[in-house]
């Protein structure tokens, strides 16, 4: 009996080792010049299938006792995503996921992505989006929480989220700060996720460690327009000045070459 179980056990161990070898996760945050920005890569079958670069911080309200030990007051914890975060990830054709945890699992962030098709006036098109955020935090952790009432683990989640919507086959980019509200299991408190310097692509990556063409968020597009608009207006103004000077120069030459008729009629006899 033991001899019959051994081959099966070896097969399971071999399959598990093969699966682990086929999926790799890498935290490359040390490559970022910005200490607040993190870089994460998920690879399957030796091919990059998810890449994420962003700076993230959570603003978490929690209760503490007032000085009279009767009333409760609300404090605020600012929790940045740690550079040394442990990570897990999985990739699929239409669903992908990135999970990050830090400070001995006191904090866990799970991002879920969904790719879907839809019909438009231009025909069928596909896009992907951030479809769910789940943030688990422990108010008994002392780095960011001080004397929380009833300390313990809580979960803050998104509700019907449709964020970072991007055409399929492209990456999402947004340098501006974005705020996403999450609802916590701690008395329905509102937890805020602040994201900035985002470059993200959970599907259809063309090559290892290479993002597809970026799709900029509306705020970045507006800021880019505001930066280029003065230059465009300056070029137009310069062109108008050049054209005006050119017309004046041509008009001046034409009028100078014409015979000037004297206003004094007595001078007519000297003409001809």
Predicted local distance difference test score (pLDDT) of residue 228: 58
Return d(Cα 204, Cα 155) in angstroms, integer: 31
* Digit-coded pLDDT (tens) for 182-238: 999 998 899 999 999 999 999 999 999 999 999 999 987 765 555 554 666 666 777
Render the burial of 23-47: b for 16+ CB within 10 Å, e for the rest.
eebebebeeeeeeebbbbbbbbeee
User: Across residues 242-251, what is the average pLDDT?
Assistant: 77
How many CB atoms are closer than 10 A to CB 54? 20
Return d(Cα 213, Cα 221) in angstroms, integer: 15
Return d(Cα 149, Cα 62) in angstroms, integer: 8
pLDDT at 240 over 70: yes
Per the model's pLDDT, the better-predicted residue between 124 and 108 turns out to be 108
pLDDT at 60 over 70: yes
How many CB atoms are closer than 10 A to CB 244? 10
Alpha helices in the chain (DSSP H): 2-22, 218-257
Model confidence band, residue 115 (pLDDT cutoffs 50, 70, 90): very high
Q: Is there a contact between 156 and 185 (Cβ–Cβ < 8 Å)?
A: yes
Break the chain into its structural domains and give their ranges.
Answer: 20-216
Work out the percent of the chain whose per-residue pLDDT is above 90.
61
Model confidence band, residue 30 (pLDDT cutoffs 50, 70, 90): confident
Return d(Cα 222, Cα 232) in angstroms, integer: 15
Return d(Cα 251, Cα 243) in angstroms, integer: 12
Task: Report the mean per-residue pLDDT for the chain.
Answer: 85
* Digit-coded pLDDT (tens) for 5-16: 555 554 444 444
Q: Is there a contact between 215 and 172 (Cβ–Cβ < 8 Å)?
A: yes
Q: Is there a contact between 100 and 112 (Cβ–Cβ < 8 Å)?
A: no
Strand partners, 40: 27, 52
| Concatenated DSSP letters of 9-21 | HHHHHHHHHHHHH
Q: What is the largest CA-CA distance in the chain?
A: 139
Least confident of 19-28, 52-61, 86-95, 256-265: 256-265
Q: Is there a contact between 1 and 11 (Cβ–Cβ < 8 Å)?
A: no
Six-digit token string for 5: 């179980």
- Would you identify the CATH topology of the domain 20-216? Porin (2.40.160)
pLDDT at 21 over 50: no
Provide the CB-side half-sphere exposure for 154 (13 A, CA): 24
User: Across residues 142-154, what is the average pLDDT?
Assistant: 95
Per the model's pLDDT, the better-predicted residue between 178 and 238 turns out to be 178
Six-digit token string for 241: 């000045």
- Give pTM, 2 decimals: 0.74
Predicted local distance difference test score (pLDDT) of residue 17: 44
* Digit-coded pLDDT (tens) for 117-131: 988 888 889 999 999
* Angle of CA points 227, 233, 238, to nearest 5°: 130
Return d(Cα 11, Cα 259) in angstroms, integer: 107
């Amino acid at each position: 009996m033991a001899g019959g179980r051994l081959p099966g056990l070896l097969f399971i161990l071999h399959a598990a080792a093969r699966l682990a070898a086929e999926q790799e996760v890498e935290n490359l945050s040390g490559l970022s010049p910005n200490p607040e920005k993190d870089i994460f890569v998920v690879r399957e079958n030796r091919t990059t299938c998810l890449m994420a670069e962003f700076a993230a911080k959570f603003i978490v309200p929690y209760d503490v006792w007032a000085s009279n030990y009767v009333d409760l007051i609300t404090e605020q914890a600012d929790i940045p995503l740690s550079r040394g975060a442990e990570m897990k990830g999985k990739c699929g054709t239409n669903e992908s996921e990135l999970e990050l945890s830090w400070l001995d699992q006191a904090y866990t962030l799970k991002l879920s992505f969904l790719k879907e098709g839809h019909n438009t006036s231009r025909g069928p098109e596909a896009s992907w989006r951030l479809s769910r955020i789940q943030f688990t935090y422990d108010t008994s952790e002392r780095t960011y929480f001080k004397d929380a009432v009833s300390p313990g683990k809580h979960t803050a989640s998104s509700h019907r989220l449709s964020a970072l919507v991007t055409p399929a086959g492209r990456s999402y980019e947004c340098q501006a700060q974005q705020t996403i509200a999450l609802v916590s299991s701690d008395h329905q408190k509102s937890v805020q996720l602040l994201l900035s310097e985002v470059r993200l692509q959970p599907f259809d990556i063309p090559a290892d460690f290479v993002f597809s063409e970026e799709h900029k968020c509306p705020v970045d597009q507006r800021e880019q327009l505001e930066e280029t608009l003065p230059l465009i207006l300056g070029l137009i103004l310069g062109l108008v000045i050049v054209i005006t000077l050119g017309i004046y120069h041509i008009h001046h030459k034409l009028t100078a070459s014409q015979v000037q008729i004297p206003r004094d009629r007595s001078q007519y006899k000297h003409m001809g």
